[in-house]
Amino acid sequence: MDRTTETAPPAEPGRPAAAAEPAAPADVATGTVRRKRRRILLPLVLAAAVGGSAALGATRPWEGGSSAPGQPPLGHGTVAVERGSLSSGIQVAGALAYDALTPVVASGRGTFTALPAVGSVVKAGGRLYEVDGVPVVLMTGKRPLWRDLGPGVEDGPDVRQLKRNLVALGHADGLGLAVDEKFTAGTAVAVKRWQKALGVKQTGRVALGSVVMVPQPAVRVHQVGVRLGAPVGETTALTVSDTGLVAVVQPADNQLSRFRPDGRVEVRLSEGGTVQGRIRSLIRGGGGDGDGGADGSEGGRQKTVVTIVLDDQRAARRAGPSSVTVDVVGDTATDALVVPVTALLALDGGGYGVNVVTGTTTRLVKVRLGLVADARAQITGDVKSGDRVVIPT
């Protein structure tokens, strides 16, 4: 609301003088009376990732109240300008978890006669579980087997996948076996060598259900979903994972802009110490916690799951699946003059200022705004470290 200063009209003879209207409050910065005064809202909304967004709102600190000369007005105090560092980095709670949970569906027929222990690690070529006393072997590949493989089968990518494993495991040495889609006589020889090493009947054929294909060259058994003696069926027998640990976080929506694919972060372990990491993926509603069942939802709303690969697996394995804090480094200002954002004033004509206490008066100083984070602002201008500026209390 505009305020004006008016002078009472002279009293008529024989009548008492009318009381004068109270004068407008003096401007502490200049010691003069202003004719018009507007309360000014600081028009600055800062998008910050941790702790939410910071909104800066202030009115001129000398309005609304009176005090002794040289003192902040009622409802206000002062704070010293500090010199230090300011960072817009964020911290998000997360967890270490085993990566790439993969269900293993047992195919074929028979009865489970041996199962792995949770936490055991099986490498390509190793025995994953047993059906009717015969080992089921882990091999590397993205395509599950869907038929018996042997002499006379049609060419196909499943044959190529099998031959690649036979070569990698050393069962094709000296055979000159080409890794292609043809099941040749040399392929049958390599299969017999593999069967001999397993201690099973050497047929030269690979029966459906005798091999499990997974993308990883080695897996850790995360969960066993069947019991000994159960019949083989179309069910998830096991859940396996990579042997390495990753950090998984679910940032809030206003924090997502800080997480960039291939961006570098620091992971603080619950037992102490830190591990450097790289952001591998951001998946809306993706799973990734240590239980293998996270759907990334919160209150019916899917959240984004961020997966971070770690540079040092030894430190991660010592910690094991556990809680972590992920630090995402943002912009940093060092050796900066810093004030609370509540000290900033929107100036007529644009820009910002601070009200600096000088002796028994205050003066309005225009400043340039730098980095703003955690409700603090970097400023430059005619101020120095130790100066006291006015803030609302």
Backbone angles phi, psi at 15, to 5 degrees: -120, 145
Q: What is the pLDDT of residue 5?
A: 38
Give the number of other CB atoms < 10 A from CB of residue 345. 22
Backbone angles phi, psi at 314, to 5 degrees: -65, -45
Find the CATH number of the domain harbouring 184.
Answer: 1.10.101.10
Same domain (yes/no): 106, 48: no
pLDDT beyond 80 at 198: yes
| Residue 139, CA atoms < 13 Å, CB-side half-sphere | 27
Same domain (yes/no): 114, 232: yes
Q: What is the pLDDT of residues 209-219, one digit of tens each?
A: 999 999 999 99
Q: What is the pLDDT of residues 122-176, one digit of tens each?
A: 999 999 999 999 999 999 999 999 999 999 999 999 999 999 999 999 999 999 9
Residue type, 346: A
CA-closest candidate to residue 221, choices 131, 314, 105, 102: 102
Q: What is the pLDDT of residues 66-99, one digit of tens each?
A: 445 555 666 789 999 999 999 888 999 999 999 9
* Rounded Cα gap, residues 348 and 43, in angstroms: 12
Domain boundary among 324, 345, 375: 324
Ranges 291-305, 335-349, 357-371, 374-388: which has the least confidence: 291-305
**Does residue 248 lie within any of the structural domains?**
no
Domain boundary among 241, 274, 307: 241
Q: What is the pLDDT of residue 254?
A: 85
Same domain (yes/no): 165, 236: yes
Q: What is the mean pLDDT of residues 47-61?
A: 35
| Ramachandran category for residue 262: left, alpha or beta (phi over 0 → left; psi -120 to 50 → alpha) | left
DSSP state of 315: H
Q: Is 216 helix (H, G, I), strand (E, B) or coil?
A: coil
**Does residue 155 lie within any of the structural domains?**
yes
Q: What is the pLDDT of residue 64?
A: 37
Find the CATH number of the domain harbouring 353.
Answer: 2.40.420.20
Q: What is the pLDDT of residue 284?
A: 83
Give the number of other CB atoms < 10 A from CB of residue 126. 15
Q: What is the pLDDT of residues 258-289, one digit of tens each?
A: 899 999 999 999 989 999 999 999 998 655 44
* Rounded Cα gap, residues 236 and 106, in angstroms: 7
Q: What is the pLDDT of residues 293-311, one digit of tens each?
A: 344 455 556 789 999 999 9
Q: What is the mean pLDDT of residues 200-217?
A: 96
* Rounded Cα gap, residues 89 and 138, in angstroms: 44
Instruction: Write the CB contacts of 285 (distance below 8 Å, at least 6 apart in sequence).
Output: 295, 296, 297, 302, 303, 304, 305
| Ramachandran category for residue 200: left, alpha or beta (phi over 0 → left; psi -120 to 50 → alpha) | beta
Same domain (yes/no): 157, 265: no
* Rounded Cα gap, residues 312 and 104, in angstroms: 28
Q: What is the pLDDT of residue 97?
A: 97
The answer to whether the CB of 106 falls within 8 A of the CB of 233 is yes
CA-angle at 376, arms to 379 and 325, nearest 5°: 135
Same domain (yes/no): 134, 264: no
CA-angle at 288, arms to 121 and 285, nearest 5°: 155
Same domain (yes/no): 40, 133: no
Same domain (yes/no): 169, 114: yes
What the block records as the tokens of 14 is: 């024989």
Output the CA–CA distances (angstroms, integers) from residue 239 to 116, 293, 317, in the order listed. Answer: 11, 11, 20
* Rounded Cα gap, residues 339 and 342, in angstroms: 8
What average pLDDT is seen over the chain? 82
What the block records as the tokens of 113 is: 């006669």
**Does residue 249 lie within any of the structural domains?**
no
pLDDT beyond 50 at 10: no
3-state secondary structure 75-140: CEEEEECEEEEEECCEEEEEEEEECCCEEEECCCCCEEEECCCCCCEEECCCEEEEECCEEEEEEE
Same domain (yes/no): 293, 311: yes
Same domain (yes/no): 29, 122: no
Give the number of other CB atoms < 10 A from CB of residue 216. 19
Q: What is the pLDDT of residue 146?
A: 94
The answer to whether the CB of 67 falls within 8 A of the CB of 61 is no
**Does residue 252 lie within any of the structural domains?**
no
Q: What is the mean pLDDT of residues 370-382?
A: 93
Range of the domain at 35: 1-89+330-393
**Does residue 246 lie within any of the structural domains?**
no
Same domain (yes/no): 109, 85: no
**Does residue 247 lie within any of the structural domains?**
no
Q: What is the pLDDT of residue 300?
A: 54
**Does residue 217 lie within any of the structural domains?**
yes
Output the CA–CA distances (angstroms, integers) from residue 247 to 102, 183, 197, in the order listed. Answer: 18, 42, 39
pLDDT beyond 50 at 19: no
Q: What is the pLDDT of residue 75?
A: 73
Q: How many domains does the chain have?
A: 3
Domain boundary among 273, 291, 324: 324
Q: What is the pLDDT of residue 347?
A: 95
Same domain (yes/no): 335, 317: no
**Does residue 250 lie within any of the structural domains?**
no
Same domain (yes/no): 210, 292: no
